[in-house]
Structure 1
């Protein structure tokens, strides 16, 4: 079976789904913003409940490591040896202290933003669409 027509059909469907009326695109942006603000709010509330936050850093990695491995020698012999290999960057997650008052202010601001998006987001999209007609 030829896969090129299938790939073209999938690309065409992906292109069509990105289309939509300006109202639909606006509503999609508002929904994405609501999800983002809700995720941030959950993170801040978890930080307040724990009393600390998590910070994720990528440690500076030279990329050189010694890795053990096997090899096949001459005459079908097996052996063990070391060689250099690349393990990729290492992600380090550590606890960092928080300022509870600042986190409370952040939570209040995010709650207000989420309420504003929930009450006005879609109606603004509809009003903007009707104003352009």
Structure 2
């Protein structure tokens, strides 16, 4: 078993434990604001695409490198390992379509923010701070 493959499950458990540290109120508020957060992310991405004149497509690409593996009976030895990197590729956009998309997203934002505020109020009622 490699050191990296040994640490991945531990890291995953640690992330799970950290996310479990959020209070019920914090989780409720995050859920209440999820649509607004998504709209804000999409608005930002669309504005960047329009400013650049193109979108960026991201792909995770595997690659092989020489690593060090450990075995209790034979010790350390060189072995192939797989890593991953993000590859960004420019993609043409239809500017009028992106502008229309941006307008639609901005129109949806205000009602989503109002709904999120109402949901947050319900969160505070359901999970009062004691």
Shorter-chain TM band? 0.5 to 0.7
1:55 pairs with one of 50, 54, 57:
57
> Hey, what's the Cα distance between the residues in 2 that align with 1:20 and 1:96?
41
**Structure label with greater radius of gyration:** 1
97, 104, 111: which is aligned to 2:106? 111
Normalised to the residue count of structure 1, the TM-score between the two structures is: 0.56
Stretches of structure 2 lacking an aligned partner (at least 5 in a row)? 1-16, 69-77, 126-130
- Quick one: distance in 1 between partners of 2:50 and 2:19? 41
Normalised TM-score (structure 2): 0.57
Q: RMSD value over aligned CA atoms?
A: 3.7
Residues 11-40 of structure 1 deviation map (CA, whole Å, 9 limit, x = unaligned): 7x976743249xx82x43232322221111
Other structure's SS at 1:47 match: helix
Native 8 Å contact 2:61 2:85 kept in 1: yes
How far off is 1:108 after superposition?
1.3
2:33 counterpart SS class: helix
| Deviating 4+ runs (over 6 angstroms) | none
Give the corresponding residue for 2:72: none
User: Whole-Å Cα distance in 2 between the matches of residues 103 and 114 of structure 1?
Assistant: 16
CA distance, structure 2, for counterparts of residue 14 and residue 98 of structure 1: 37
